[in-house]
Amino acid sequence: MDKFTERVIAGAKRLGASYCDCRLIDLEREDVSVVGGAPRAVVHAHQRGFGVRVIANGAWGFSSSSVVTDAEADHIVEEAVAIAHASALAKKKDVVLATVAPSQDMIPHQADVDPFTIPDSDKIGLLAEATRAMMLPGVVLARGQMQFLKERKIFASSEGSYIVQDRVESGAGVSAMAASDKGDVQIRSYPMSFSGDNAQSGWEFVEAMKLLEHAEPTAGKHWHSWLPSLVPRESRTWSLVDSNSRCKSTSHVATRPSSTGSWAWRRRLPGHHF
């Protein structure tokens, strides 16, 4: 058991708690975005927090904090025990926990390459090159983004359990927006829409996407026949998918009905027909 959770549990026992558990979370995030070959934002965030549950005088008490220090641990334990004593004033019977054998375990993450060890310059460079490749004639906007998460959760209890779980998530994607001279808009995305694809994996997941290899073909699927002139403008709303392609790119077509000026959207994914 680590020193922080030991301090929490020892403090709760000292204040008369018959049971205590502590959950500690350490979360790191990184978001990288590029527009048209130029960096737009690189955001790093690091958050920590812990929560304490106790049983005192036969009732539950709980408190938590985002400040992980010894002094704050002592304060939060006192607050949780005080809440338990206050709750006991309204209890009908004492809380009795089921008998559970203590558990000690370490659950590792699934990443082969920790994405937080990859320099920001490499991430920005890959997205910049991919979005520049998407800026074909007619494309008015090309975006690329990556997002990464690393999390450690710790659970410790006064019954002897101590469990550590690590998790790493990685994700990325690119998209291109094309506009016709009539005001029609289409967005093509790879490997899928919104922020791309995500998985509990490491940098190897991003490399396997081959963003640069798919960037230009994804943007190039916009062209010239995407709004046939035989279809009335007011009724044109559909999506295009290259029937010879099995990549997970997503197509969006938007047309603006002349009567209302509002947009109509429809999405199509490979393997879906309508």
Q: Which helix (H) or strand (E) holds 84?
A: helix 70-88
Instruction: List the domain boundaries for the chain.
Output: 3-268
Asked whether the predicted pLDDT for residue 134 surpasses 60, the reply is yes
Beta bridge partners of 268: 251
Calculate mean pLDDT across residues 146-158: 98
* Alpha-carbon gap, residue 18 to 74, rounded angstroms: 17
* Alpha-carbon gap, residue 61 to 8, rounded angstroms: 14
Asked whether the predicted pLDDT for residue 249 surpasses 60, the reply is no
Interval 174-184: pLDDT, tens:
999 988 777 78
Calculate mean pLDDT across residues 196-214: 96
* Alpha-carbon gap, residue 217 to 208, rounded angstroms: 17
Asked whether the predicted pLDDT for residue 228 surpasses 90, the reply is no
Q: Which amino acid is at 31?
A: D
Calculate mean pLDDT across residues 126-151: 95
* Alpha-carbon gap, residue 219 to 249, rounded angstroms: 10
pTM of the model: 0.78
Asked whether the predicted pLDDT for residue 143 surpasses 80, the reply is yes
**Is domain 3-268 in CATH 3.40.50.280, yes or no?**
no
> Do residues 115 and 202 touch, judged by C-beta distance below 8 A?
yes
With 0-12 CB in 10 A as exposed, 13-18 as middle and 19+ as buried, what is 127? buried
pLDDT at 133: 95
Supply the mean pLDDT for the chain.
Answer: 84
User: Crossing angle, helix 211-220 and helix 120-134, to 10 degrees?
Assistant: 20
Interval 96-113: pLDDT, tens:
999 999 999 999 999 999
